[in-house]
Amino acid sequence: MTRSYVIDVSAYQPQATYYTFWEKWKARGVRGAIIKLSESTYWRNQYGAGQIAAAKHVGFKVSGYHFSRFIGDGNRARLEANTAIATANTMGLEHGSALVLDYEERAGYQSANTLAAIIFCNAVKQAGFIPVFYSYSGMRDLWDYEAIYKATGAKLWIASYPTMAGVTQPDYEYFPAISTHTDAWQFSSNAWGEQIDISVDFTGVFTMEEKVTSGGNLDSVRFDGNKLVVNGWFAAAQAQGKPYAFAILTNEQGSQEFGRAQVNITSRPDVPKVYPDIPNGANSGFSASFDYSNQIKGKKLHLIFRYTDDAAGNGNFVDYVSLLDLTKSAANLDNVDTVVFSNKLQVSGWFATDMSLGLNHRFLILYDSAAQHELQRIEYNPTSRGDVQQAHPDIFASELSGFSGQFDYSSDLVGHQLQVIARFSDDEHGEGNHIDYWFEPIRGPQLPVLDGKSETEVLVHEFSASKADNDLISLKFR
């Protein structure tokens, strides 16, 4: 087993832009460098490019890491992954290098944190880097590494410090046994008493070149009507002699199968550019579709891509497993305003959810947050929102997600804390089986007042005007 050392640095170590810094650590047995590149979507290490160049100059294998702030927000994880990838490319981190998700926020829920980490790691892998998940051993209840590993193949770099005093070697009696897949252990933040993080690398991910002979990625998930469409690639040395390819949907435990489709392998010339050691990577693309049904909606599933020697999809096989989340929802309240002359509260926006299958009645509800009771309920017909479909192709029926409606509104509601609720239901009155999206509370807006000084534009089908008393004009609209 390889047990070389690797150190990691950030903007707190500007001296790591000098060759002498790395030469000193090389003399101490260090063979790898991990450079902090970015944090959230707003911070980049101003010394990062120089630190990468200096470490390369003395012969170190160089990796990068991104300090995350997305907690369990999958959309935010995608944005942060894009930041990390763009920064790595700009700073000269070579494709095929490790790019680490540094996950240290002690917040959120395990399931959401795990899914967000999977989204980040898959984006990193798709961009041509090796995904690595890093966290502290004491945070193991906030994420599920085995699920991350199954879905992405991400390496594990775990931190656990037996002492805060200066050390020169790890004390293996305190090794954090988080997973059998552990690739590196950060055993101190005070190597040689110099306040430098140091790790022992067990598999060479950070310190020696390794051949990657299998890999895959779930590139996209989208809905086409009532079809769930998945696209990606998978290639492996073990796939040789297994001419049949299948995509299979199961529950997370793999104990129940929901669908199986035989697929044709397509050309992927991009794969061998990143993974030249994977046999037949140039022909590794797959696409499959499944009926979207009540049996799978609202579930988290495993998508298995399989090569096998059996025409039925069993026999001797090799699998690549990804996580599918069919519990997603997204919405936005675009506009809330009062309508002149009609005492109406106009609301518009959109709401899409994977759980809407079979819930064909759509309602908007006006709710008094302070009094905690419903004020009004109106049914609406959904409208097309191509912008939403483009942003959220992986949410069911996102294209037909727009809403607009008018609630009766009076001066009694001005200043009240109100909430708009969007609801999908299988009941014509909005009860029965349903799913809601509660928008952030709003304060009831003022009613418009015609003061004789301001101008108000009103769109109507027809109107008539006549002279009234006191030289006023009477207007009638329709």
Same domain, 351 and 283: no
Same domain, 184 and 229: no
Residue closest to 400 by CA, chosen among 352, 347, 450: 352
Cα dihedral 379/381/387/391 (nearest 10):
60
Among 410-414, 418-422, 447-451, 464-468, which is the least confidently predicted range? 447-451
Domain range spanning residue 311?
A: 214-325
* C-alpha to C-alpha distance for 47 and 12, rounded to whole angstroms: 9
Residue 25 region by backbone torsions, left for phi larger than 0, else alpha for psi between -120 and 50, else beta: alpha
Residue 366 pLDDT > 70: yes
* C-alpha to C-alpha distance for 214 and 437, rounded to whole angstroms: 42
- The secondary structure of 185-229 as a DSSP string is EEEES-BTTSS-EEEEESSSTTTS-----EEEEEEEEEEETTEEE
Which residues are bridge partners to 5 per DSSP? 30, 200
Residue 358 region by backbone torsions, left for phi larger than 0, else alpha for psi between -120 and 50, else beta: left
Q: For residue 447, what pLDDT is reported?
A: 76
Residue 59 region by backbone torsions, left for phi larger than 0, else alpha for psi between -120 and 50, else beta: left
Same domain, 38 and 160: yes
Instruction: Please state, rounded to an integer, the average pLDDT across all residues of the chain.
Output: 90
Among 52-61, 279-288, 302-311, 459-468, which is the least confidently predicted range? 459-468
Identify the band that residue 462 occupies on the pLDDT scale cut at 50, 70 and 90.
low
Q: Tens of pLDDT along 176-226?
A: 888 888 999 999 999 999 999 999 998 889 997 656 677 888 889 999 999
Q: Tens of pLDDT along 257-302?
A: 999 999 999 999 988 887 788 889 999 999 999 999 999 999 989 9
Q: Which helix (H) or strand (E) holds 124?
A: helix 110-126
Same domain, 438 and 340: yes
Same domain, 73 and 152: yes
244 and 313 Cβ atoms separated by less than 8 Å: yes
Same domain, 188 and 223: no
Identify the band that residue 393 occupies on the pLDDT scale cut at 50, 70 and 90.
very high
Report helix angle 110-126 to 145-152, nearest 10.
Answer: 30
Total structural domains within the chain: 3
Q: For residue 214, what pLDDT is reported?
A: 79
Q: Tens of pLDDT along 104-134?
A: 999 989 999 999 999 999 999 988 899 999 9
- Across 329-358, average pLDDT: 89
Give domain status of residue 251, yes or no.
Answer: yes
Same domain, 126 and 229: no
Q: For residue 2, what pLDDT is reported?
A: 44
Per DSSP, 167 falls in state B
Longest dimension (CA), the chain: 98
Measured in whole angstroms, how far is the alpha carbon of residue 383 from the centre of its chain?
27
Residue 244 pLDDT > 70: yes
Q: Tens of pLDDT along 131-157?
A: 999 999 999 999 999 999 999 999 999
* C-alpha to C-alpha distance for 361 and 381, rounded to whole angstroms: 8
Helices (runs of H) and strands (runs of E) counted in the chain:
7, 27
Q: Tens of pLDDT along 11-57?
A: 999 999 999 999 999 999 999 999 999 999 999 999 999 999 999 99
Backbone phi, psi, residue 221, to 5°: -130, 130
Same domain, 196 and 220: no
* C-alpha to C-alpha distance for 340 and 111, rounded to whole angstroms: 47
Same domain, 156 and 241: no
* C-alpha to C-alpha distance for 366 and 430, rounded to whole angstroms: 13
Q: For residue 112, what pLDDT is reported?
A: 94
Same domain, 123 and 34: yes
Give domain status of residue 457, yes or no.
Answer: no
420 and 375 Cβ atoms separated by less than 8 Å: no
Identify the band that residue 238 occupies on the pLDDT scale cut at 50, 70 and 90.
confident
* Neighbouring residues of 285: CB distance < 8 A, sequence distance ≥ 6: 231, 232, 233, 265, 266, 267, 268
Q: For residue 209, what pLDDT is reported?
A: 62
